[in-house]
Amino acid sequence: MALNSKLYSIAFNKCPKCHQGDFFKTKTSFQRHFDEIHHHCPHCNETLVPEPGFYWGALYVSYALYVGWCMTAFVVYTYVLKLNLDYFLVFLIPTLILLMPWFFRLARRTWLNLFVDYDPAKAQQKAVGLKPAI
């Protein structure tokens, strides 16, 4: 398991198995239907939704992202910018709302990458004629 392989898949919205097909149907987090996932990779036909309820575990990843963002924002707001804490929530809440689609997608890609490893042979395959994995 190569860490750089996992990071590539997570960062660039790619299938964790082949790094060719897109994970989500839309290119960015800030489009309509940002949450729609391909059920199978368009390139290698890898199952991107392994079982019903699989992405419930992504909630833990999402929670960690939100906590990390809140802690970073707090440190920057109080120690770097040296601003009064009276208005911290006025700054924090809009940023959390704006980052929600990005954290949602990042958490799901991260969760699937914990269970699926990169396969260079799959990257060379074409999806033509492949049957869905059972």
**Distance (Å, rounded) from C-alpha 19 to C-alpha 79?**
40
pTM of the model: 0.85
Is residue 107 a contact partner of residue 59, using CB atoms and an 8 Å limit? yes
What sign for the dihedral angle of Cα 25, 53, 49, 19?
Answer: positive
Q: Which two tokens stand for residue 88?
A: 């911290």
Please, which pLDDT band fits residue 131 given cuts at 50, 70 and 90? Answer: low
* CA separation for the pair 70, 77 (Å, rounded): 10
Share of the chain above pLDDT 70, in %: 93
Residue bearing the bigger pLDDT, 126 or 87 = 87
Measured CA to CA, the distance from residue 106 to residue 129 in angstroms comes to: 31
Contact 34, 11 (CB under 8 A): no
Band (134; pLDDT cuts 50, 70, 90): very low
What confidence score (pLDDT) does residue 125 get?
76
